[in-house]
Amino acid sequence: MHEGEAAVSAAGDNTARATGGAEPGYRKTGKRDTKPAPATGVHFDSGAAVPNATPASADGAEHSTVPFQYDAILLSGFGGPEGQDDVIPFLRNVTRGRGIPDERLEEVAHHYRHFGGVSPINDHNRQLLTALRTALDSAGIDLPVYWGNRNWAPYLDEALQQAAADGVRTMLAIPTSAYSSYSSCRQYREDWADALETSGLQETLRIDKVRQFFSHPGFLQPFIEGVRDAVAAALKAGNQLADVEIMFATHSIPTADAARSGAGLFPDVEGGGYAAQHLAAAEEIIAQAAPEVSWQLVYQSRSGPPSQPWLEPDINDAIEELEGRKAVIIVPLGFVSDHMEVMWDLDEEATETATERGLWVHRAPTPGVHPAFVGALVDLVQERIEGRPADQRANVTTIGPWFDVCRPGCCENPRLGFKPAIAGLQP
The partner residues of 263 in beta bridges, in order of sequence, read none
Q: What's the pLDDT tens digit per position in 346-390?
A: 999 999 999 999 999 999 999 999 999 999 999 999 999 999 999
Rounded to whole angstroms, the Cα distance separating 332 from 273 reads 18
Can you name the residues that pair with 251 across neighbouring β-strands?
300
Alpha-carbon Rg of the chain, whole angstroms?
21
For 183, phi then psi, to 5°, come to -75, -25
The C-alpha atoms of residue 159 and residue 262 are separated, in whole angstroms, by 28
pLDDT, tens digit, 9 for 90 and up, residues 40-87: 999 999 999 999 999 999 999 999 999 999 999 999 999 999 999 999
pLDDT tens digits, 172-196 = 999 999 999 999 999 999 999 999 9
- Starting at the edge strand found earlier in the chain, the sheet holding 244-251 runs 294-300, 244-251, 327-331, 360-363
pLDDT, tens only, 251-282 = 999 999 999 999 889 988 989 999 999 999 99
**Nearby residues of 389 by Cβ (< 8 Å), 6 or more positions away:** 63, 65
pLDDT value, residue 264: 84
At 29, is the pLDDT very low, low, confident or very high (cuts 50, 70, 90)?
very low
pTM of the complete model: 0.93
Burial class (CB in 10 A: 0-12, 13-18, 19+), 356: exposed
Instruction: Report the phi/psi class of residue 417: left, alpha or beta, with left for phi > 0 and alpha for psi in -120 to 50.
Output: left
Indicate if the pLDDT at residue 4 is higher than 90. no
With contact defined as beta carbons under 8 Å apart, do 38 and 54 qualify? no
Q: What is the pLDDT of residue 25?
A: 54
Alpha-carbon distances of 393 from 39, 191, 217, 284, rounded to whole Å: 34, 28, 11, 17
What is the C-alpha to C-alpha distance for residues 271 and 255, in angstroms, rounded to an integer? 6
- Is the predicted pLDDT of residue 128 greater than 70, yes or no? yes
Any bridge partners for residue 245, and if so which? 294, 328
pLDDT score of 27: 47
Quote the pLDDT of residue 21.
34
Pairing type for strands 360-363 and 327-331 reads: parallel
d(CA 226, CA 213): 18
Which candidate, 200, 208, 205, places its Cα nearest to that of 36? 200
Q: How far, in Å, are 67, 160, 360 from residue 240 at the CA level?
A: 51, 53, 12
DSSP annotation of 210 reads: P
12: left (phi over 0), alpha (psi -120 to 50) or beta: beta
Closest to 125 measured CA to CA, from 155, 84, 93: 155
pLDDT confidence tier of residue 149, bands split at 50, 70 and 90: very high
Q: How many CB atoms lie within 10 A of CB 114?
A: 12
- Mean local confidence (pLDDT), 232-258: 97
CA 232 – CA 239 distance, rounded (Å): 10
Q: What is the pLDDT of residues 393-422, one digit of tens each?
A: 999 999 999 999 999 999 998 888 899 999
